[in-house]
Amino acid sequence: MPGKSRTIFLVDCQSFYASVEKALNPELEGKPVAVAGDPERRSGIILAACPLAKAKGVTTAERLGEALSKCRDLVIIKPSMQRYIDYSMRISEIYESYSDLVEAYSIDEQFIDVTGSLHLYGGDPEALARMIQLHVKEAIGVHTRFGISDSKVLAKQACDNFAKKNESGIYVLERERLADSLWRLPVNKMFMVGSRMTAHFERMGIRTIGDLAQTPLAQLKQRMRQRFGKNSDVQAEVCWRIANGIDDSPVKPGTHMGEKSVGHMMTLPRDYGTRDELKVIVLELCELVARRCRSIGKMGRTLSVGCQGADFDRPTGFSRQMTLPYPSHVTNDLYYNAMSLFDRHWDGLPVRRVGISVTGFQTDDQYQLVMDDNRERLGALEAAMDRLKDKYGDAVIMRAVSKTAAGQAQDRAMKIGGHYK
C-alpha cells in the first residue's frame, strides 16, 4: 500500500478568524464572538463563529441578521484578513519546528508529515500531536484539531469527521480499522463529495463511505458511466480511492511555488450594465493578474475571461478562453485580448462577477521577440510600478479610470479576499 509507513497530520484551527480575534482581545473571553463581512457590500455573512456562538445556534455562512436573532449578545468583529494570514504563517513556523514537511491546504488547515521526525519525540503520533497542540495554544491562543493517518486523504477525513468532534481534538484513523470508523459514515461525509454527488450515489444504492469503498472499481466505473457518460472513469476512481484511503501524494512544502494558473475574480458591489463600466473592471483585473504573473516570473499563453449575471440561480454570462499572440505578463496585452473576448461573448445583460485568469506559463527570463512587442517597454514600466506598490501599497499608483465611479481598484487595495485587510 503506498504511504503505508508514513505518519501524516492534518491540523485544523478551530474557528480560526474568531479564535485569532479572541486571542488578541482578552475582553472577549467568555463572550460569543463572530467575524462577519461588511453588510454594505453584500458580504454580511458569518465567516467564523467561536464555539460559544455556535452553541447558541450561530453557523458559518449564515446572514448576520439571522445570527443576531439567535444570539442577541453576539459580538461582531469585522475581518482583518492580513492579520489572519500573518497568524497562519506563524502557525506554519511552529509546525516547521517539528518537521520540515509542512504544506498549507487553506488558511486554517495544514498537512505535516512527521514520518522522519516522530522518533525524536518518542515515536507516539498522538503524544506529538498533543505537544504541537499545546505549543500552538500557548504561542498563538488558537485550539487545533489533528487528524492522523498514513495518507493525506485519511488524515483529512480523520480530522473532519472525528477530531473536530471529540474532546481532545486528536484522532488516529487506522487503515486496518476503516470498516469500524470511516466506512460507517454516510457518503456525504466523504472528502470531495457534495450534495449533488451524494444524491447520485444514493440513487446508485451507495449510502455509506464503506458501500463506496467496497464496490469493485470496475463496477463503480460502469455504474457511473451510465449516469455521467463515458468520461466519468477518472471521477469514479478518484472517489473510490478516497473512500479506500489510497493516496500517495506527498506533503509538499513548495507546492505554492509551482502555480499552474493565476486568476483574479471580482464580485461587484452593484450590477454593471454598460461596456464602459465593465472595461474598467476588466482592466483592473488584468492589472492584478499581470502583476501576479510578474511576481512569480512567468508569462502566460492562455487567457480566460468569465462574466456572471446578478442572479446566480438563473445563470447568464459566459466563460471563454483564447491563446494569446505571444506569452505575456503585460497588463495591456492581457487587457486588449480580454476585451476582444468580452466583446465577442458578452450578451449585454447586467454583470455582477468578472474573472480573468492566465495559464500556459513559461518563465519570463527568455522569450522570442515578435513585431509590436509590448513586453520590453511596458514590462519595464510595470516592473517599476510593482516596486512602488510593494513598498507603499497598492493604492499608491493607479490608472485614472480606476478613479471613476466604476473603478474598484482603490477599494480593493484595502482588501484581501473581498474583506478588509
Partner 1 sequence: MGDSKKLTAGGNWLWEDSRMMLPEHKLAQNEHQRELRRRERKHIDEAEWADIAMAFSASLQLHKLITIRMFDPFEETRIEGVVERVDQFGGRFMVDGEWFPFHDIEGAVLADMEDN
204 belongs to the binding site for partner 1 (CB under 8 A)? no
- Nearer Cβ to partner 1 (221/352): 221
Contact 48, 16 (CB under 8 A): yes
Q: How far is the CB of 162 from partner 1 (least distance, A)?
A: 20
- Nearer Cβ to partner 1 (45/68): 45
271 is in an annotated binding site: no
Residues 260-279 that bind partner 1 (CB under 8 A): 260, 262, 264
Number of residues that bind partner 1 (CB under 8 A): 46
- Nearer Cβ to partner 1 (247/284): 247
**Residue of 327, 306, 309, 213 lying closest to 270 (CA atoms):** 309
**Contact region for partner 1 (CB under 8 A) — 60-68, 127-135, 167-175, 247-255?**
247-255
- Nearer Cβ to partner 1 (52/264): 264
Contact mark string toward partner 1, 104..123, x via CB under 8 A: xxxx---x------------
Q: Is 109 known to be catalytic?
A: yes
Cell triple for 81: 484578513
Q: How far is the CB of 126 from partner 1 (least distance, A)?
A: 24
108 is in an annotated binding site: yes
Cell triple for 77: 468583529
Residues 280-339 that bind partner 1 (CB under 8 A): 292, 295-296
Q: Which residues pair with 49 in a beta bridge?
A: 34
Binding residues: 12, 108
Binding residues for Mg(2+): 12, 108
Residues that bind partner 1 (CB under 8 A): 2, 81-82, 85-86, 88-89, 92-93, 96, 103-107, 111, 152-153, 192, 231-232, 234-235, 237-239, 241, 247-250, 252-257, 259-260, 262, 264, 292, 295-296, 416-417
Q: Annotated active-site positions, please?
A: 109
